[in-house]
Amino acid sequence: MPVLHTFIVIIYCVIMPIMERPELLAPAGNMEKLKTAIHFGADAVYLSGKMYGLRAAAGNFSYGEMKEGVEYAHKRGVKVYATVNIFFHNNDIEGLPEYLDYLGSIGIDAVIISDPGVVALAQEIIPDMEIHISTQANTTNWRGADFWKKNGAARVNLARELSLEEIRELKTKTAIEIETFVHGAVCMAYSGRCHLSSHMTGRNANYGDCTHSCRWEYTIKEAKRPSEEFDVEEDQRGTYFFNSKDLCMIEHIPALISAGIDSLKIEGRAKGVNYVAGTVRSYRLALDSYFENPEKYGFNQAWLDELQKLSHRNYDTGSFFGKEGGALTDSSYIRSYDFVGVAKKRIDENRILIEARNKLEVGDVLEILGKSNQIKSFKLDKIIGPEGEDLSVAQPGQLFFIETGINIEPLDILRKQKEQTIHGDKKNV
């Protein structure tokens, strides 16, 4: 065995026993997504109230819903973090002390903040609460992370522009917990500090009201030739030079762990239930497989295949391997499967209540996304209405029963492959 290889193996064996299992942190845009994230294996979820969070389109939580969500999560051993990370102006401070006090009263495990003044206020109002520094604070070096540690923060969500080598060095030079995004949409602006939406629509991304205007279709015009459009297109629909590919690090779990990252965060509070289920499931299976036997760990292509079935842009590893800013210029979303239903309640051994989310028809071949390694499928031979009547179709929002010997748990997801029309004939995508 070569000397260098022997040395690497020795270091690996010394380091491996002390490596801790990182937290899997999932988005919870509303109560259903919170429950779905927990069902599929999240260790913690992050959410927002109706104010002060950076995803106004997510639905978010009323005071009562937030309390209910915390109780639901804690009963299942899952932590809940609340985002308080808009870019605060003077008039935003009014009402904030009362809000922070409420978060403390319901047992939120940590608040996610980007503004140093709000950090100081949180320390006054809820001194026993953990403070996590948001990625919006743009922490890019170990001294910045150490500053937050010395000023009372327990964790920092690093800027998305850091490589694994930078994260590894940072982790060795400060004792603060490290959180990084490992999956989901990436903003074309630096760590999400974008003004496009505000400039073009009046909806401020830094207040949580982003219109995702970087995803729109654009052309380039030269100032002295306004009638001419310069073609920089990637596909037949136009140019997407502002667009980022979606981040996906599912193939690099060992590298994330060896860098010392404490929390692996999935982006997507505004995404659907199907997205939350699929992403949490794949990363949960990968993490559990790794820690079951690190020395014999092997990547399972099925985990990535499942992520490919979700609505997404082409995947990329962002800046983790040294490309600052990640890969831009991607086209529109890839959607190969439709989310058609969610399991609500098991009635007996064979019958389960389903809520339709898209149109289903008798004869559809459905896949069941559950917590297990296996993706099961079956042909929908019968749709049973609420009164026991036979139906040929179930429409979005409709409750109905199915009968199958397959084990389906409440909160499992039903989906079917999309069809496309080619020369008048339908075929699966």
CATH number at residue 153: 3.20.20.70
Same domain? 355 vs 413: yes
- 205 has pLDDT over 90: no
Q: Which of 287, 284, 277, 360 is nearest to 311 (CA)?
A: 277
DSSP 347-372: -SSSEEEEEESS-EETT-EEEEE-SS
End-to-end CA distance of the chain, in Å?
48
- Which burial class, exposed, middle or buried, applies to 332 when counting CB atoms under 10 A from its CB (0-12, 13-18, 19+)? middle
Q: With the CA atoms of 251, 257, 259 and 265 taken in that order, what torsion angle do they form, in degrees rounded to the nearest 10?
A: 80
For residue 121, how far is the Cα from the chain centroid?
28
Is 10 among the domain residues? no
Domain assignment present for residue 331? The answer is no
Are residues 370 and 418 located together in one domain of the fold? yes
Q: Are residues 144 and 44 in the same domain?
A: yes
What pLDDT sits at residue 107? 97
| Residue 73 lies in domain | 19-190+243-316
β-bridge partners, 337: 417
Clarify whether residues 51 and 97 are in a common domain: yes
Say if residue 393 is in the same domain as residue 248: no
Q: Are strands 23-27 and 263-266 parallel, antiparallel or unpaired?
A: parallel
79 by DSSP, 3-state: which? strand
418 lies in some domain: yes
Q: Higher-confidence residue: 19 or 298? A: 298
Q: Looking at the structure, do residues 184 and 93 belong to the same domain, yes or no?
A: yes
Closest by Cα among 256, 263, 253 to 283: 253
Query: What is the phi/psi pair of residue 199, to 5°?
Result: -65, -40
- pLDDT value of residue 191: 58
231-290: per-residue pLDDT in tens? 555 554 444 456 678 899 999 999 999 999 999 999 998 899 999 999 999 999 999 999
Q: Residue 128 and residue 130: Cα distance in Å, rounded?
A: 7
Name the domain boundary from 267, 285, 316.
316
User: 396 lies in a domain?
Assistant: yes
- Domain membership of residue 250 (yes or no) is yes
At 7 the pLDDT is 47
CA distance 50 to 47: 10
How far is 212 from 187, CA to CA, in rounded Å? 9
- How do 419-422 and 23-27 pair as beta strands? unpaired
Report d(CA 375, CA 281) in Å as an integer.
Answer: 11
DSSP string for residues in 214-276: GGS-B-EEETTEEEEEE---SBTTBB-TTPBPEEE-GGGHHHHHHTT-SEEEE--TTS-HHHH
> Quick check: 55 pLDDT over 50?
yes
| Lowest mean per-residue pLDDT among 50-54, 233-237, 422-426 | 422-426
Are residues 162 and 118 located together in one domain of the fold?
yes
Average pLDDT, the chain: 84
Pair (105, 165) in one structural domain? yes
What is the model's pLDDT at position 13? 43
**pLDDT above 70: percentage of residues in the chain:** 76
Q: Is 178 found in the same domain as 120?
A: yes
Task: Count how many residues are written for the chain.
Answer: 429
Query: Given a cut of 60, is residue 58 above it in pLDDT?
Result: no
Q: Which residue type sits at 325?
A: G
Whether residue 344 sits in one domain with residue 306: no
C-beta of residue 42 within 8 angstroms of C-beta of residue 78:
yes
- 108-165 pLDDT, tens digit per residue, is 999 999 999 999 999 999 999 999 999 989 999 999 999 999 999 999 999 988 999 9
- Residue 27 zone, left/alpha/beta (φ > 0; ψ -120 to 50; rest): beta
Q: How many domains does the chain have?
A: 2
321 domain-assigned: no
Segment 362-395, tens digit of pLDDT: 999 999 999 988 899 999 999 999 999 999 999 9
d(CA 218, CA 221): 10
Q: Please say if the pLDDT value at position 291 is more than 60.
A: yes
pLDDT digit string, tens, across residues 331-350: 567 888 999 999 999 998 88
Cα distance between residue 212 and residue 196, in whole Å: 8
Higher pLDDT, 178 or 223: 178
46 and 183 belong to one structural domain: yes
Percentage of the residues of the chain whose pLDDT score is greater than 90: 64
Burial readout 15-31 (b: 16 or more C-beta within 10 A, e: otherwise) = eeeeeeebbbbbbbbbb
200 in a domain, yes or no? Answer: no
Which residues face 130 on adjacent strands?
A: 110
Same domain for 253 and 392, yes or no, is: no
Beta carbons of 35 and 68 less than 8 angstroms apart: no
Residue 139 CB-half CA count within 13 A: 30
Rounded to whole angstroms, the Cα distance separating 420 from 427 reads: 6
> Where residue 364 sits, what CATH number does that domain have?
2.40.30.10
Domain boundary residue, one of 282, 316, 350: 316
Give the closest residue to 368 by CA, choosing from 354, 383, 378: 378
Question: Tell me, what's the pLDDT at 340?
Answer: 96
Secondary element (H or E) of residue 346: strand 337-346
DSSP designation for 50: S
User: Is residue 214 assigned to a domain?
Assistant: no
Instruction: Choose the weakest-confidence range: 109-113, 224-228, 261-265, 423-427.
Output: 423-427
